[in-house]
Amino acid sequence: MTDSPFDLTYAAAGDRYEKVPYHRTGNSGLDLPAFSFGLWQKFGSDYPFATQREIILHAFDLGITHFDNADRYGPPHRAAQKNFGAVLAKDLAPYRDELLLSTKAGNPIGPSPYLKGGSRKSILTSLDHSLRDLGTDYVDIFYHHSPDLSTPLEESVGALVSAVEQGKALYVGISNYLPDRTHEAAELLRAAGVPLLIHQARYSIYDRRPEQNGLLDTARQDGFGLIVYSPLAQGLLTDKYLETIPEHARAQNSTFLTPDVIDETYRQRTAELNKIAEARGQSLAQLALQWVLRRQEVTSALIGASSTEQPDHNIAALNFPPLTDEELALIEEHGVHGTGLRL
Protein backbone atom coordinates (compact mmCIF):
# COMPACT_ATOMS: atom_id res chain seq x y z
CA MET A 1 0.00 0.00 0.00
CA THR A 2 2.90 2.31 -0.61
CA ASP A 3 0.90 4.32 -3.13
CA SER A 4 -1.66 5.37 -0.49
CA PRO A 5 -2.30 9.14 -0.75
CA PHE A 6 -2.86 9.58 2.97
CA ASP A 7 -1.70 13.17 2.89
CA LEU A 8 -5.08 14.12 1.43
CA THR A 9 -7.90 15.14 3.76
CA TYR A 10 -11.33 13.68 3.02
CA ALA A 11 -14.64 15.34 3.84
CA ALA A 12 -17.84 13.59 2.81
CA ALA A 13 -20.21 15.27 0.37
CA GLY A 14 -22.87 17.28 2.17
CA ASP A 15 -25.63 16.12 -0.18
CA ARG A 16 -24.82 12.41 0.04
CA TYR A 17 -28.23 11.44 1.40
CA GLU A 18 -30.08 13.05 -1.47
CA LYS A 19 -28.89 10.67 -4.20
CA VAL A 20 -29.92 7.11 -3.33
CA PRO A 21 -33.21 5.99 -1.75
CA TYR A 22 -33.19 3.71 1.27
CA HIS A 23 -35.29 0.58 1.73
CA ARG A 24 -36.39 -1.13 4.92
CA THR A 25 -34.78 -4.55 5.40
CA GLY A 26 -37.53 -7.11 5.86
CA ASN A 27 -39.37 -6.74 9.17
CA SER A 28 -36.41 -5.06 10.89
CA GLY A 29 -35.88 -1.40 11.66
CA LEU A 30 -32.79 -1.15 9.46
CA ASP A 31 -32.70 0.77 6.18
CA LEU A 32 -30.20 -0.08 3.46
CA PRO A 33 -29.37 2.03 0.40
CA ALA A 34 -30.90 0.74 -2.82
CA PHE A 35 -27.34 0.08 -3.96
CA SER A 36 -24.71 -1.39 -1.68
CA PHE A 37 -21.03 -1.59 -2.55
CA GLY A 38 -19.33 -4.97 -2.77
CA LEU A 39 -15.58 -5.54 -2.49
CA TRP A 40 -15.72 -9.05 -3.95
CA GLN A 41 -13.46 -8.27 -6.91
CA LYS A 42 -10.79 -5.66 -7.69
CA PHE A 43 -10.10 -4.75 -4.08
CA GLY A 44 -7.19 -7.08 -3.44
CA SER A 45 -3.47 -6.67 -3.93
CA ASP A 46 -3.80 -6.89 -7.72
CA TYR A 47 -5.31 -3.38 -8.08
CA PRO A 48 -3.81 -0.04 -7.01
CA PHE A 49 -4.80 0.95 -3.49
CA ALA A 50 -5.14 4.62 -4.49
CA THR A 51 -7.81 3.67 -7.03
CA GLN A 52 -9.63 1.53 -4.48
CA ARG A 53 -9.65 4.38 -1.99
CA GLU A 54 -10.97 6.82 -4.57
CA ILE A 55 -13.82 4.50 -5.52
CA ILE A 56 -14.81 3.73 -1.92
CA LEU A 57 -14.92 7.41 -0.95
CA HIS A 58 -16.83 8.31 -4.10
CA ALA A 59 -19.40 5.63 -3.36
CA PHE A 60 -19.93 7.08 0.11
CA ASP A 61 -20.29 10.55 -1.40
CA LEU A 62 -23.11 9.12 -3.53
CA GLY A 63 -24.98 7.96 -0.43
CA ILE A 64 -23.89 4.33 -0.58
CA THR A 65 -23.34 3.68 3.11
CA HIS A 66 -23.25 -0.13 3.02
CA PHE A 67 -19.93 -1.79 2.19
CA ASP A 68 -19.96 -5.56 1.85
CA ASN A 69 -16.88 -7.66 2.49
CA ALA A 70 -15.79 -11.21 3.34
CA ASP A 71 -12.75 -12.97 4.71
CA ARG A 72 -12.35 -14.63 1.30
CA TYR A 73 -12.17 -11.46 -0.79
CA GLY A 74 -8.80 -10.56 -2.25
CA PRO A 75 -6.45 -11.79 -3.57
CA PRO A 76 -5.02 -12.89 -1.26
CA HIS A 77 -7.80 -13.81 1.13
CA ARG A 78 -8.63 -11.00 3.59
CA ALA A 79 -6.86 -8.39 1.45
CA ALA A 80 -10.10 -6.55 0.62
CA GLN A 81 -10.91 -6.22 4.31
CA LYS A 82 -7.44 -4.88 5.07
CA ASN A 83 -7.64 -2.38 2.22
CA PHE A 84 -11.04 -1.17 3.33
CA GLY A 85 -9.75 -1.01 6.90
CA ALA A 86 -6.97 1.33 5.77
CA VAL A 87 -9.54 3.67 4.19
CA LEU A 88 -11.72 3.46 7.28
CA ALA A 89 -8.83 4.33 9.58
CA LYS A 90 -7.71 7.39 7.67
CA ASP A 91 -10.76 8.72 5.87
CA LEU A 92 -14.03 7.22 7.09
CA ALA A 93 -13.41 6.90 10.83
CA PRO A 94 -15.38 10.10 11.58
CA TYR A 95 -18.35 8.57 9.73
CA ARG A 96 -18.29 5.09 11.30
CA ASP A 97 -21.75 5.60 12.81
CA GLU A 98 -23.11 6.30 9.31
CA LEU A 99 -21.56 3.18 7.79
CA LEU A 100 -22.99 -0.29 7.49
CA LEU A 101 -20.10 -2.73 7.32
CA SER A 102 -20.70 -6.39 6.63
CA THR A 103 -18.45 -9.40 6.39
CA LYS A 104 -18.84 -13.15 5.95
CA ALA A 105 -17.25 -16.38 7.14
CA GLY A 106 -17.44 -19.97 5.98
CA ASN A 107 -16.11 -20.17 2.45
CA PRO A 108 -12.67 -21.83 2.26
CA ILE A 109 -9.68 -19.54 2.77
CA GLY A 110 -7.03 -22.18 3.41
CA PRO A 111 -6.32 -25.91 3.77
CA SER A 112 -7.02 -26.06 7.50
CA PRO A 113 -10.39 -27.52 8.54
CA TYR A 114 -10.75 -24.42 10.73
CA LEU A 115 -10.51 -22.07 7.74
CA LYS A 116 -13.80 -23.12 6.19
CA GLY A 117 -17.26 -24.39 6.96
CA GLY A 118 -19.88 -23.71 9.58
CA SER A 119 -18.31 -24.81 12.83
CA ARG A 120 -18.42 -22.46 15.78
CA LYS A 121 -14.62 -22.26 15.74
CA SER A 122 -14.43 -21.41 12.04
CA ILE A 123 -17.15 -18.77 12.13
CA LEU A 124 -16.14 -16.93 15.29
CA THR A 125 -12.40 -17.11 14.66
CA SER A 126 -12.96 -15.67 11.19
CA LEU A 127 -15.01 -12.83 12.67
CA ASP A 128 -12.20 -11.93 15.06
CA HIS A 129 -9.74 -11.83 12.16
CA SER A 130 -12.15 -9.68 10.14
CA LEU A 131 -12.56 -7.17 12.94
CA ARG A 132 -8.79 -6.80 13.14
CA ASP A 133 -8.54 -6.47 9.35
CA LEU A 134 -11.22 -3.79 9.26
CA GLY A 135 -9.98 -2.00 12.36
CA THR A 136 -13.39 -1.87 13.98
CA ASP A 137 -14.93 -3.26 17.17
CA TYR A 138 -18.03 -4.57 15.44
CA VAL A 139 -19.61 -5.15 12.07
CA ASP A 140 -23.17 -4.18 11.36
CA ILE A 141 -24.03 -7.42 9.54
CA PHE A 142 -22.26 -10.76 9.92
CA TYR A 143 -23.04 -13.57 7.48
CA HIS A 144 -22.48 -17.26 7.23
CA HIS A 145 -21.18 -17.21 3.65
CA SER A 146 -22.51 -20.57 2.42
CA PRO A 147 -24.25 -23.58 3.97
CA ASP A 148 -22.16 -26.36 5.47
CA LEU A 149 -24.23 -29.52 5.30
CA SER A 150 -21.62 -31.45 7.31
CA THR A 151 -22.16 -29.26 10.39
CA PRO A 152 -25.41 -29.11 12.39
CA LEU A 153 -27.30 -25.99 11.46
CA GLU A 154 -27.84 -25.33 15.16
CA GLU A 155 -24.08 -24.94 15.60
CA SER A 156 -23.68 -22.47 12.73
CA VAL A 157 -26.71 -20.47 13.84
CA GLY A 158 -25.46 -20.56 17.43
CA ALA A 159 -22.19 -18.97 16.32
CA LEU A 160 -24.08 -16.13 14.64
CA VAL A 161 -26.12 -15.61 17.81
CA SER A 162 -22.91 -15.50 19.87
CA ALA A 163 -21.48 -12.83 17.57
CA VAL A 164 -24.43 -10.57 18.43
CA GLU A 165 -24.40 -11.45 22.13
CA GLN A 166 -20.68 -10.63 22.30
CA GLY A 167 -21.26 -7.22 20.71
CA LYS A 168 -19.21 -8.08 17.63
CA ALA A 169 -22.17 -7.83 15.22
CA LEU A 170 -25.43 -5.91 15.29
CA TYR A 171 -27.33 -8.14 12.86
CA VAL A 172 -26.81 -11.50 11.21
CA GLY A 173 -27.42 -12.88 7.74
CA ILE A 174 -26.84 -15.92 5.59
CA SER A 175 -25.76 -16.30 1.99
CA ASN A 176 -26.33 -18.88 -0.74
CA TYR A 177 -28.69 -21.01 1.36
CA LEU A 178 -31.56 -22.86 -0.31
CA PRO A 179 -35.07 -21.90 0.85
CA ASP A 180 -35.76 -24.87 3.15
CA ARG A 181 -32.51 -24.43 5.07
CA THR A 182 -33.03 -20.67 5.06
CA HIS A 183 -36.42 -21.12 6.73
CA GLU A 184 -34.93 -23.49 9.29
CA ALA A 185 -32.15 -21.00 10.06
CA ALA A 186 -34.71 -18.19 10.37
CA GLU A 187 -36.74 -20.24 12.86
CA LEU A 188 -33.68 -21.06 14.97
CA LEU A 189 -32.53 -17.45 14.98
CA ARG A 190 -35.99 -16.20 15.87
CA ALA A 191 -36.14 -18.61 18.80
CA ALA A 192 -32.77 -17.30 20.00
CA GLY A 193 -33.97 -13.69 19.89
CA VAL A 194 -31.65 -12.74 17.01
CA PRO A 195 -33.88 -12.54 13.92
CA LEU A 196 -32.49 -13.26 10.48
CA LEU A 197 -31.99 -9.82 8.96
CA ILE A 198 -30.97 -10.59 5.41
CA HIS A 199 -30.08 -13.23 2.86
CA GLN A 200 -27.45 -12.55 0.19
CA ALA A 201 -28.22 -14.41 -3.03
CA ARG A 202 -27.24 -14.23 -6.66
CA TYR A 203 -30.06 -12.85 -8.80
CA SER A 204 -30.25 -11.31 -12.26
CA ILE A 205 -32.20 -11.43 -15.50
CA TYR A 206 -29.98 -14.38 -16.44
CA ASP A 207 -30.10 -16.08 -13.03
CA ARG A 208 -33.66 -16.61 -11.81
CA ARG A 209 -33.03 -19.12 -9.06
CA PRO A 210 -34.51 -16.99 -6.24
CA GLU A 211 -37.74 -16.90 -8.26
CA GLN A 212 -37.69 -20.54 -9.25
CA ASN A 213 -36.70 -22.13 -5.96
CA GLY A 214 -39.03 -20.09 -3.78
CA LEU A 215 -36.46 -17.93 -1.96
CA LEU A 216 -38.43 -14.75 -2.70
CA ASP A 217 -41.49 -16.36 -1.11
CA THR A 218 -39.44 -17.45 1.90
CA ALA A 219 -38.18 -13.89 2.37
CA ARG A 220 -41.75 -12.61 2.56
CA GLN A 221 -42.89 -15.37 4.90
CA ASP A 222 -39.95 -15.17 7.31
CA GLY A 223 -39.60 -11.40 7.22
CA PHE A 224 -36.00 -10.99 6.09
CA GLY A 225 -34.64 -8.83 3.31
CA LEU A 226 -32.74 -9.90 0.22
CA ILE A 227 -29.54 -8.29 -0.97
CA VAL A 228 -28.65 -9.56 -4.42
CA TYR A 229 -25.19 -9.98 -5.89
CA SER A 230 -24.12 -10.22 -9.53
CA PRO A 231 -27.20 -8.29 -10.74
CA LEU A 232 -25.25 -7.65 -13.98
CA ALA A 233 -24.27 -11.33 -14.24
CA GLN A 234 -20.55 -10.56 -14.00
CA GLY A 235 -20.86 -8.00 -16.81
CA LEU A 236 -22.89 -10.20 -19.17
CA LEU A 237 -25.85 -7.84 -18.74
CA THR A 238 -24.01 -4.95 -20.35
CA ASP A 239 -23.21 -4.18 -23.98
CA LYS A 240 -19.53 -5.02 -23.40
CA TYR A 241 -19.61 -8.43 -25.08
CA LEU A 242 -22.08 -7.86 -27.90
CA GLU A 243 -19.41 -7.80 -30.61
CA THR A 244 -16.24 -9.26 -29.12
CA ILE A 245 -14.43 -9.73 -25.81
CA PRO A 246 -12.47 -6.55 -25.10
CA GLU A 247 -8.90 -6.79 -23.94
CA HIS A 248 -8.61 -6.76 -20.12
CA ALA A 249 -12.35 -7.46 -19.77
CA ARG A 250 -13.45 -9.62 -16.85
CA ALA A 251 -14.04 -12.59 -19.16
CA GLN A 252 -10.32 -12.55 -19.92
CA ASN A 253 -9.01 -12.65 -16.36
CA SER A 254 -11.71 -13.83 -13.95
CA THR A 255 -12.31 -17.24 -12.42
CA PHE A 256 -16.03 -16.42 -12.30
CA LEU A 257 -16.53 -15.71 -16.01
CA THR A 258 -14.88 -17.50 -18.92
CA PRO A 259 -14.87 -16.66 -22.65
CA ASP A 260 -16.63 -19.87 -23.68
CA VAL A 261 -19.98 -18.75 -22.20
CA ILE A 262 -20.06 -15.76 -24.54
CA ASP A 263 -21.52 -17.61 -27.50
CA GLU A 264 -23.93 -16.69 -30.27
CA THR A 265 -27.01 -17.57 -28.21
CA TYR A 266 -25.82 -15.25 -25.45
CA ARG A 267 -25.16 -12.44 -27.94
CA GLN A 268 -28.55 -12.78 -29.62
CA ARG A 269 -30.47 -12.65 -26.35
CA THR A 270 -28.38 -9.82 -24.95
CA ALA A 271 -28.75 -7.78 -28.14
CA GLU A 272 -32.54 -7.99 -27.78
CA LEU A 273 -32.35 -6.91 -24.14
CA ASN A 274 -30.09 -4.06 -25.17
CA LYS A 275 -32.75 -2.90 -27.65
CA ILE A 276 -35.30 -2.73 -24.84
CA ALA A 277 -32.89 -0.61 -22.80
CA GLU A 278 -32.11 1.68 -25.72
CA ALA A 279 -35.82 2.25 -26.34
CA ARG A 280 -36.04 3.47 -22.73
CA GLY A 281 -33.03 5.75 -23.19
CA GLN A 282 -30.86 3.81 -20.76
CA SER A 283 -28.04 1.29 -20.82
CA LEU A 284 -28.52 -2.45 -20.50
CA ALA A 285 -26.77 -2.33 -17.13
CA GLN A 286 -29.27 0.24 -15.87
CA LEU A 287 -32.16 -1.87 -17.16
CA ALA A 288 -30.77 -4.95 -15.39
CA LEU A 289 -30.43 -3.08 -12.11
CA GLN A 290 -33.95 -1.70 -12.34
CA TRP A 291 -35.20 -5.21 -13.03
CA VAL A 292 -33.84 -6.71 -9.79
CA LEU A 293 -34.86 -3.71 -7.68
CA ARG A 294 -38.44 -3.88 -8.93
CA ARG A 295 -39.08 -6.73 -6.50
CA GLN A 296 -40.36 -5.66 -3.10
CA GLU A 297 -38.40 -8.52 -1.51
CA VAL A 298 -35.10 -7.06 -2.76
CA THR A 299 -33.80 -4.53 -0.27
CA SER A 300 -30.57 -3.67 -2.06
CA ALA A 301 -28.45 -4.61 -5.07
CA LEU A 302 -24.71 -5.08 -4.69
CA ILE A 303 -22.55 -3.29 -7.21
CA GLY A 304 -18.81 -3.22 -7.66
CA ALA A 305 -16.61 -0.85 -9.61
CA SER A 306 -13.20 -0.42 -11.16
CA SER A 307 -13.67 3.34 -11.64
CA THR A 308 -15.61 6.18 -10.06
CA GLU A 309 -17.72 6.52 -13.19
CA GLN A 310 -19.35 3.13 -12.73
CA PRO A 311 -21.22 3.92 -9.48
CA ASP A 312 -22.45 7.17 -11.05
CA HIS A 313 -23.79 5.24 -14.03
CA ASN A 314 -25.39 2.56 -11.89
CA ILE A 315 -27.29 4.81 -9.52
CA ALA A 316 -28.61 6.75 -12.52
CA ALA A 317 -30.77 3.67 -13.12
CA LEU A 318 -33.00 5.02 -10.35
CA ASN A 319 -33.94 8.02 -12.49
CA PHE A 320 -35.86 6.04 -15.11
CA PRO A 321 -39.58 5.27 -14.99
CA PRO A 322 -40.72 1.86 -13.74
CA LEU A 323 -40.68 -1.02 -16.19
CA THR A 324 -44.03 -1.51 -17.89
CA ASP A 325 -45.83 -4.84 -18.19
CA GLU A 326 -44.99 -4.89 -21.89
CA GLU A 327 -41.29 -4.31 -21.20
CA LEU A 328 -41.27 -6.96 -18.50
CA ALA A 329 -42.83 -9.42 -20.93
CA LEU A 330 -40.10 -8.72 -23.49
CA ILE A 331 -37.42 -9.14 -20.84
CA GLU A 332 -39.02 -12.45 -19.89
CA GLU A 333 -38.86 -13.58 -23.51
CA HIS A 334 -35.20 -12.80 -24.07
CA GLY A 335 -33.78 -12.96 -20.55
CA VAL A 336 -33.61 -16.73 -20.42
CA HIS A 337 -32.47 -18.26 -17.14
CA GLY A 338 -28.95 -19.68 -17.36
CA THR A 339 -27.84 -17.64 -20.35
CA GLY A 340 -24.06 -17.23 -20.28
CA LEU A 341 -23.77 -18.76 -16.81
CA ARG A 342 -22.42 -21.97 -15.35
CA LEU A 343 -25.23 -23.04 -13.02
Residue 2 confidence (pLDDT): 43
Q: How confident is residue 249, by pLDDT bands cut at 50, 70 and 90?
A: low
> Are 289 and 232 a contacting pair, CB within 8 Å?
yes
Strand 22-24 versus strand 31-33 pairing type: antiparallel
Does 262 score more than 80 pLDDT? yes
Q: Is the previous residue joined to 75 through a cis bond, with omega within 30 degrees of 0?
A: yes
Per-residue model confidence as pLDDT tens digits over 84-132 = 999 999 999 999 999 999 999 999 999 999 999 999 999 999 999 999 9
pLDDT band at 43 (very low <50, low <70, confident <90, very high): very high
* Model confidence band, residue 1 (pLDDT cutoffs 50, 70, 90): very low
Q: Is pLDDT of 252 > 80?
A: no
Question: Is 80 exceeded by the pLDDT of residue 251?
Answer: no
- pLDDT at residue number 100: 98
Q: What is the mean pLDDT of residues 30-47?
A: 97
> CA-to-CA distance for 194 and 183, rounded, in angstroms?
14
- Given this model, what pLDDT does residue 7 score? 52
Question: Which pLDDT belongs to residue 258?
Answer: 74
Q: pTM for this structure?
A: 0.94
pLDDT of residue 244: 73
Given pLDDT bands bounded at 50, 70 and 90, which one contains residue 245?
low
Record: fold of 20-234+286-323: TIM Barrel (3.20.20)
Q: What is the pLDDT of residue 37?
A: 98
Question: 146-199: per-residue pLDDT in tens?
Answer: 999 999 999 999 999 999 999 999 999 999 999 999 999 999 999 999 999 999
Window from 186-190, 241-245, 282-286 with minimum mean pLDDT: 241-245
